[in-house]
């Protein structure tokens, strides 16, 4: 018998209140912790969310939570999910389910009181683990506990069946391998992902991009990405991706998933923009990809401090830092240079242009296109001289006197 020990979340008063509320309505054993919290507890990983499975029907769950004086939010009532809020902590509670129909994207479910049926519809054996309020672990597949101990990502039952129920499970296979896997990926699961990769065209762009970004945020996603490339899954998701050499090199340098994503592309702002829009990446990620590509041509590890400040002024600190990291990944021995440039990009605040149209007018030039041209020439010289703090009026007067 496996029992969870030393888990503060399990004994916390907020958790105990929710379990007590459910058991008051459905009796002892009607509610068990499920999935990630059980898996991570067994693997010694941080617990982010606490999910609970119950034999209570959704309306019974909602009633039980409210009867205990807790907040109940019907977040997914059609699929059996109610969120309880106890001491400001959310607990997602879902009625045991079995799939009635699936189409590769969505499932029609029926509620059940059979824990084995609920486990059978889950994706991987180490996610089909349950624990009661005392921490006793239940392993309906008989392999989940062992998989968690060994770092194995293995589908529940037949991999092809699981994937054809929801093609997102292909990406989840690689994402979970990136976060929790050790050794080589499960060969049977890998073959199923390779053979069924074209089914991912049925998925929404948002679901795909979310999984991809989660994968890239793993401590070391390189083995998972390599397996995705070999199986053709990466080409299916991101056909713009080239060789993984730069990606492999950047992973130890940056934990930022956007930086890692950037290295999967050639330096091509429009290609990056097109991929980001197709996959519906968040606007902030899309804009970073494009800005890094725009900055890349002027960024090198040989830049002087003044040249770096000029690049930051024109392209922004974030874009320059991203472009520096890309260069650093290609020249990993140049730590000192990269560190210097990243410090400037991160710490230096570009000054505002110290002159404007009113300053030009005060020197006798009538407003018009010539004003804009003069200010552009002034700005270029000011940048080239590393943003001097004085002498602006004299410099501007000299430009005006030389015009024409």
Mean pLDDT value across residues 55-59? 96
Both 88 and 163 in a single domain? no
Which pLDDT tens digit goes with each residue over 316-364? 999 999 999 999 999 999 999 999 999 999 999 999 999 988 988 888 8
Question: Which among 213, 237, 261 is the end of a domain?
Answer: 237
Confidence category of residue 404, pLDDT binned at 50, 70, 90: low
Nearest-CA neighbor of 153 among 128, 136, 135?
A: 128
Question: Which among 211, 237, 263 is the end of a domain?
Answer: 237
Nearest-CA neighbor of 236 among 195, 284, 266?
A: 195
Q: Is 142 helix (H, G, I), strand (E, B) or coil?
A: coil
Both 346 and 252 in a single domain? yes
Both 27 and 140 in a single domain? yes
Which pLDDT tens digit goes with each residue over 91-148? 999 999 987 766 666 767 789 999 999 999 999 999 999 999 999 999 999 999 999 9
Both 191 and 282 in a single domain? no
Which pLDDT tens digit goes with each residue over 213-250? 999 999 999 999 999 999 999 999 999 998 999 999 99
Question: Which among 118, 150, 182 is the end of a domain?
Answer: 150
Residue 362, domain extent: 357-402
Four-residue CA torsion sign, 260, 261, 265, 271: negative
Both 336 and 379 in a single domain? no
Nearest-CA neighbor of 249 among 335, 343, 331?
A: 331
Both 118 and 221 in a single domain? no
Mean pLDDT value across residues 249-266? 96
Both 370 and 330 in a single domain? no
Both 81 and 117 in a single domain? yes
**pLDDT in the model for residue 259:** 97
**pLDDT in the model for residue 77:** 79
200: CATH: 1.10.3090.10
Mean pLDDT value across residues 142-170? 96
43: CATH: 3.30.460.10
Share of the chain above pLDDT 90, in %: 87
Q: How far is CA 70 from CA 54, 73, 83, in A?
A: 17, 10, 10
| β partners of residue 108 | 101
Both 261 and 372 in a single domain? no
**pLDDT in the model for residue 104:** 63
Pairwise CA distance, residues 162 & 12, whole Å: 35
**pLDDT in the model for residue 401:** 84
Confidence category of residue 75, pLDDT binned at 50, 70, 90: confident
SS (H, E, C) 8-61: HHHHCHHHHHHHHHHHHHHCCCCEEEECHHHHHHHHCCCCCCEEEEECCCHHHH
Which pLDDT tens digit goes with each residue over 176-198? 999 999 999 999 999 999 999 99
Both 166 and 219 in a single domain? yes
Query: CB under 8 Å to 309, separation ≥6 — which residues?
Result: 344, 348, 350, 386, 387
Both 201 and 269 in a single domain? no
Both 33 and 131 in a single domain? yes
Number of domains in the chain: 4
**pLDDT in the model for residue 155:** 98
331 secondary structure, DSSP code:
S
């Amino acid at each position: 018998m496996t029992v969870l020990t030393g888990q503060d979340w399990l004994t916390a008063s907020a958790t105990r209140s929710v379990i007590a509320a459910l058991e008051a309505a459905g009796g002892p054993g009607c509610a068990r912790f499920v999935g990630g919290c059980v898996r991570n507890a067994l693997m010694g990983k941080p617990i982010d969310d606490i999910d609970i499975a119950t034999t209570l029907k959704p309306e019974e769950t909602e009633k039980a939570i409210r009867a205990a004086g807790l907040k109940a939010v019907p977040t997914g009532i059609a699929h059996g999910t109610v969120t309880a809020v106890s001491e400001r902590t959310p607990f997602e509670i879902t009625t045991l389910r079995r799939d009635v129909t699936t189409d590769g994207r969505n499932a029609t479910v029926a509620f059940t009181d059979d824990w084995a049926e609920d486990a059978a519809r889950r994706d991987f054996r180490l996610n089909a683990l349950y624990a009661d309020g005392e921490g006793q672990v239940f392993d309906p597949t008989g392999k989940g506990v062992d998989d968690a101990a060994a770092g194995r990502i293995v589908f529940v039952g037949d991999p092809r069946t699981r994937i054809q129920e929801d093609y997102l499970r292909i990406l989840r296979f690689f994402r979970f391998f990136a976060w929790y896997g050790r050794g080589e990926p499960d060969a049977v699961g890998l073959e199923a992902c390779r053979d069924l990769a074209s089914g991912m065209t049925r998925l929404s762009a948002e679901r795909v991009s979310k999984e991809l970004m989660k994968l890239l945020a793993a401590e070391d996603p390189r083995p998972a990405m390599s397996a995705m490339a070999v199986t053709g899954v990466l080409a299916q998701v991101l056909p713009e991706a080239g060789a993984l050499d730069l990606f492999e090199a950047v992973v130890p340098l940056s934990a930022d998933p956007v930086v890692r994503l950037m290295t999967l592309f050639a330096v091509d702002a429009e290609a990056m923009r097109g991929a980001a829009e197709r996959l519906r990446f968040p606007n902030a990620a899309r804009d970073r990809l494009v800005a890094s590509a725009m900055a890349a041509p002027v960024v090198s590890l040989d830049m002087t401090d003044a040249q770096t400040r000029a690049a930051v002024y024109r392209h922004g600190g974030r874009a320059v830092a991203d472009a520096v990291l890309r260069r650093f990944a290609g020249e990993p021995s140049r730590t000192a240079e990269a560190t210097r440039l990243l410090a400037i990009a991160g710490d230096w605040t570009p000054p505002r242009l110290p002159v404007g149209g009113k300053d030009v007018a005060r020197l006798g030039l009538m407003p018009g296109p010539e004003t804009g041209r003069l200010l552009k020439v002034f700005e270029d010289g000011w940048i080239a001289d590393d943003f001097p703090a004085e002498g602006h009026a004299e410099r501007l007067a000299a430009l005006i006197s030389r015009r024409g």
